[in-house]
Amino acid sequence: MRGILIFLGQQVGIFLFSGGVVIGWMGGDVFVAVVAMVTGLLFYISSIAYKVGHDLIRDHEEKYHSK
């Protein structure tokens, strides 16, 4: 997963990636980075799962309903 982590001072971090934007807000930079990356990863996985599921359903419909 490619993304850009941007710190706006010590309290706020913004993680930009292909699935969206995550904003982490906490006292420590490391915590912000981890929160942003974990949340980003969840978004990323859910978007992949959606795409894969969508493709599987489409393939299934083409295979069984085109006859």
Tens digits of residue pLDDT in 1-60: 466 666 665 555 666 655 555 555 545 556 666 777 777 777 777 788 888 888 888 888
The CB density around residue 32, as the number of other CB atoms within 10 Å, is 24
Question: Which H or E run contains 46?
Answer: helix 29-65
Residue with tokens 């493709």: 55
Structure tokens at 40: 């980003």
Which pLDDT score, from 0 to 100, does residue 21 have? 58
Provide the pLDDT for residue 1: 47
pLDDT of the residue at 31 = 63
b/e code 6-29 from CB counts within 10 Å (16+ = b)? eeeeeeebbbebebeebebeeeeb
